[in-house]
Copies of this chain bind each other. A is one copy, B any other.
Amino acid sequence: MIGRLNHVAIAVKDLSAASASYRDGLGAKVSAPVDLPEHGVRIAFVELANTKIELLQPLGEHSPIGRFLVKNPDGAIHHLCYEVEDLLAARDRLIHSGARILGDGAPHIGAHGKPVLFLDPKSFAGTLIELEQA
């Protein structure tokens, strides 16, 4: 059912410093930063051959990753995003298997303009999972 790993999201305190460490230390291609005020983040992508790393810095006072960075002041991996062909069918299968969906179970539009759902980390060995309609 799940398809590609769309991205690994890493919450960082300082997007410029994190971008520089990937660019200068690892020789990776890193996109220019983009502000997404409606999502409370400033993002940049590390473009790998087979997937991407999304670097996320909090933007504004009510950023969804603000508290996460208080708990993880050096930064940390925040979530994994998997693509699915049919988000509603995926949701129903997950619920049937006993997994818990965060929120009210209705997809919303994610930071990349596509419908997404987030799954309870307790259902997946402590990992926050985003499912994105491919």
Which of B55, B82, B93 sits near A125, CB closer than 8 Å? B55
Are A122's CB and B25's CB within 8 A?
no
When each residue 1-34 of chain A gets 1 if its CB lies under 8 Å from chain B and 0 otherwise, what string results?
Answer: 1111100101111000110011011111000000
Q: Which residues of B contact A5 (CB under 8 A)?
A: 5, 8, 48, 50-51, 53
Are B74's CB and A121's CB within 8 A?
yes
Q: Which residues of B contact A82 (CB under 8 A)?
A: 26, 48
Copies held by the complex: 2
Say if the beta carbon of A115 comes within 8 Å of chain B: no
Q: Which residues of B contact A70 (CB under 8 A)?
A: none
Say if the beta carbon of A126 comes within 8 Å of chain B: yes
Are B25's CB and A123's CB within 8 A?
yes
Closest CB in chain B relative to A77 CB, distance in Å: 5
Kindly specify which of A59-67, A94-102, A106-114 makes contact with the partner chain.
Answer: A94-102
Which of B13, B24, B27, B77 sits near A2, CB closer than 8 Å? B27
Say if the beta carbon of A76 comes within 8 Å of chain B: yes
Partner-B contacts on A (CB < 8 A): 1-5, 8, 10-13, 17-18, 21-22, 24-28, 48-51, 53, 55, 72, 74-77, 80, 82, 90, 93-94, 97-99, 121-127
